Amino acid sequence: MKNLKIVVAGLLAGCLFSVSAQASDNVQLDGAKLGHWTMDYDAAAKLAKEKNVPMMINFTGSDWCDWCKLMDKDVFAKEGWKKYAAANAVLVTIDFPSDKTGVPEKYVARNEGLKKEFGVRGYPTYIVLDSDGKTRLGQLGAGKGMTPDAFIEKFKETTRFSSSAIAAIAKKDTKKGESLKKTLGEYRGATQSLREWIATGPEKNEANDKKYAAFKKQISDAQAKLSEF
C-alpha cells in the first residue's frame, strides 16, 4: 500500500557559512535566520517557535539530485522566493550528498534519524511543520516548470491552517476557531494513524483493505469539512 503523501565543505575554523551546491544561498551551519537555509535543525526549531512561523525541511541530495538542483536554481535562488521566505519561513537543509565532507559529522546521524522520522523516500522532499516544530502541516515536492510564485502558492496552501492562521480566525470568530481546531485534530489524527499503520507493513488482504478504506474515509470526511473554512 502506498503512503499518503552542499554543501562543499572546505570548513575553516569558526566559519559560520559554507559554500553550497544549493544554488539558492549559502547554507548556514550553526544558528538560524528567517528565510536563510541552515543545517542547524535545533536552532531552526527554536527560531520558528520564537517567530511563530512555519518551518520547511528540505531533504536533499544537493550534489547529485537533478530535481534538487533544478528547484535550487529555478525557485530558491530567485529573489521572489527569498523575499517571501524572509518574512514567512524558517528553512532547514537536511542533506545527503555524494561528497560526505559536505555535511558536518555532528549532523550525519541526526540527518538519518530525521529521514526515518519523516518517512522520506526520495529527494527532494519538503516537509512543512508548524511553528511548534512538531505538527506536520504537509509535504511538498519538486515540479516541472516550477516557479517561485507557484511554489509560494503551494506553501501558502500547506500553511493555511498553521497555528498563527488559526489564531487569527479564532480572534475574529471564537466558535469558528474552535470548530476548525476540532476538525484539524480529526484530520491530523487520521493521517498520522494511517502513516503509522502503513509503517508496520500490513499485508495485502481483505481485512487490511477495509481498514485502509476506513482511514481514507476518515481523512476524506475531515478534508471536506476543512474545505468549508
Q: Where are the beta strands (DSSP E) in 43-156?
A: 55-60, 90-95, 125-129, 136-141
| pTM reported for the whole predicted model | 0.75
**pLDDT for the residue numbered 22:** 53
**pLDDT for the residue numbered 74:** 96
Q: Quick one: what percent of the chain has pLDDT higher than 90?
A: 73
CATH number of 17-159: 3.40.30.10
Residue 152, phi-psi category: left (phi > 0), alpha (psi -120 to 50), beta (remainder): alpha
pLDDT surpassing 60 at residue 27: yes
Contact, 53 vs 164, CB < 8 A?
A: yes
pLDDT surpassing 80 at residue 3: no
Q: Coil, strand or helix: which one is 51? A: helix
pLDDT in tens, 169-227: 888 889 888 998 899 899 889 998 998 999 899 999 999 999 999 999 999 998 898 88
Residue 110, C-beta contacts closer than 8 angstroms, at least 6 positions apart? 41
pLDDT in tens, 56-104: 999 999 999 999 999 999 999 999 999 999 999 999 999 999 999 999 9
Which one, of 11, 56, 51, 14, lies nearest residue 38 by Cα?
Answer: 56
